[in-house]
Amino acid sequence: MNNWSAPQRPNIYAEQLLLSAILDGTYPPDSSLPGERTLAAEMGVTRPTLREAIQRLSRDGWLTVQQGKSTIVNDYWREGGLNVLNTLIQHGRYLPAGFVTHLLEVRLQLAPAYTYAAINNDPQTIAEFLDGRLSLTDDVYSYADFDWRLHHQLTYSSGNPIYTLILNGFGDFYEKLARIYFAPTEARARSLAFYSALRQAALEEDAQSAERISYETMLASIELWMDIRGQFDPLERIEDSGIIREA
């Protein structure tokens, strides 16, 4: 059987071309896009198709459309939202050095809070989920998958759906990154200890201990990631997946 692939829709094609031109600096922040007629001709699309792509990028915070004036490229790091962040992850080669570390610092602030809420709201579900640690095989794929599903369950059990929506935005990126993080034996051993300690806190319905355990583990994960960066260039391991370049 042939492996057929659907042709790319013209508006998606135009949107991707514009995004690449913004990210590679062809149209830097605060610059103006060429007029619709010129830009459409350069891209090989119709003006209505280009206009639709521009409107989509405007809604996501990449562009500011001004009636009767040139369309302005926004400073997306200052004016963008989660949609911009998710798009940047899909274009990982344009992410700045240190992005993963910054992302882990955000998790350091969020994970203890949703872990506390999850143990406070639904400790039995979390304890039962963590029983699955006993079936983990000692490889990066098993740990990456289990860790993702644990944090997903924690956000869901927290009762605050915003945590889950934020985490979902990083789904594919999270697991690919985790496969790098869990490569050292030490990382897997630390996480296994974390799962055991968190399960005990869940059994005791001790949300405060769970919060502390989560914070300490998230903090240690940043330190371990910095060690990993010192041992090899993560770019060599993850660029093939189109994720990120870390200096």
pLDDT one-digit tens code per residue, 189-241: 999 999 999 999 999 999 999 999 999 999 999 998 888 766 544 544 544 44
What backbone phi and psi angles, to 5 degrees, belong to 208? Answer: -65, -40
- Domain 95-241 classification at class level: mainly alpha
Give 50-56's long-range contacts (Cβ < 8 A, gap of 24+).
50/14, 52/11, 52/14, 53/11, 53/12, 53/14, 53/15, 53/18, 54/18, 56/11, 56/15
Q: What is the mean pLDDT of the chain?
A: 87
Q: Which CATH architecture has domain 10-80?
A: Orthogonal Bundle (1.10)
- Greatest mean pLDDT range, 18-27, 126-135, 180-189: 126-135
Tell me the pLDDT tens digit for each residue of 134-148: 999 999 999 999 999
Contact 123, 199 (CB under 8 A): no
pLDDT score of 8: 62
What is the residue extent of each domain of the chain?
A: 10-80, 95-241
